[in-house]
Amino acid sequence: MTLAALEPVFGAEVTSAQPLHGGDLSEVLKVTLSDGRVMAVKRGVRVDTEARMLAAMATAGAPVPGVLHQAGDLLCLEWLEESQASARGWEALGAGLVALHEHCGTGYGWPEPYAFGPLPIENGAAQSWPGFWAEHRLLPFLPHLPADLAHRVEALAAALPERLPASPPPALLHGDLWTGNALFGRDTAWMIDPACYHGDGEVDLAMLELFGTPPDAFWAGYGGTEPGRAERRPIYQLFPALVHLRLFGANYRGMVSGLLDASGV
């Protein structure tokens, strides 16, 4: 669909469309209408799924951009004015993530598959949480890994019943919560670009810690965590590391190997 299709929806002409840095799935534009309204518009093959994920997060009380319109390959979102992250903003992000994680489903997974760029992500239900993590987050990478890494990932997958909780609360997860998918306003924060499913809330925490360390203010907003989280963290971080290795190549081999070391395999 072209941006002109938005004009009858909003009752105004599109006067500018400025490309923005976006994710791997969608083109992102800052669109201004003739009446002065501004919105973020994403164009991509999975924006309908993203709209449903954002709606689920909003229902949970998590801070996300409002969905203004979705049709075909276009998704129109509330424009968010960013500012530099503050302690209050980080605390708000922690509190928003708590609200998301307290919204639990009836099982693990998500009703539809998703993708990171060209890499498909399966979200089908599994009987146990270790089974879900093995079947949908680790084992699909085996055919694409060097033999030494594949053997180690396979060994870790087999050990997950002893390494992960069998049935943690099936929290609603953002699914890709690195710092680039958190936007900060004055004393607030929003989560963007979700890849939602239900699972252990520690998954989002591990992702947030993969490329940095959230400040104390974030933990003040989020609250306490379960004993043993440090031992589970590299197991959860292995999935995004494998995604990066598959999408971006051998520069991420060291990260994958290091996380396998930290996981004890």
Residues serving a catalytic function are 176
Backbone angles phi, psi at 132, to 5 degrees: -60, -45
What's 188's DSSP letter?
Answer: E
Per the CB < 8 A criterion, the answer to whether 29 and 20 are in contact is yes
DSSP string covering 166-184: SS---EEE-S---GGGEEE
Per the CB < 8 A criterion, the answer to whether 31 and 3 are in contact is yes
Cα–Cα distance between 153 and 99 in angstroms, integer?
A: 32
| Structure token pair of residue 244 | 């990066």
Per the CB < 8 A criterion, the answer to whether 237 and 259 are in contact is yes
Cα–Cα distance between 21 and 24 in angstroms, integer?
A: 10
Residues with Cβ within 8 Å of residue 8, at least 6 apart in sequence: none
Name residue 121's beta-bridge partners: 114
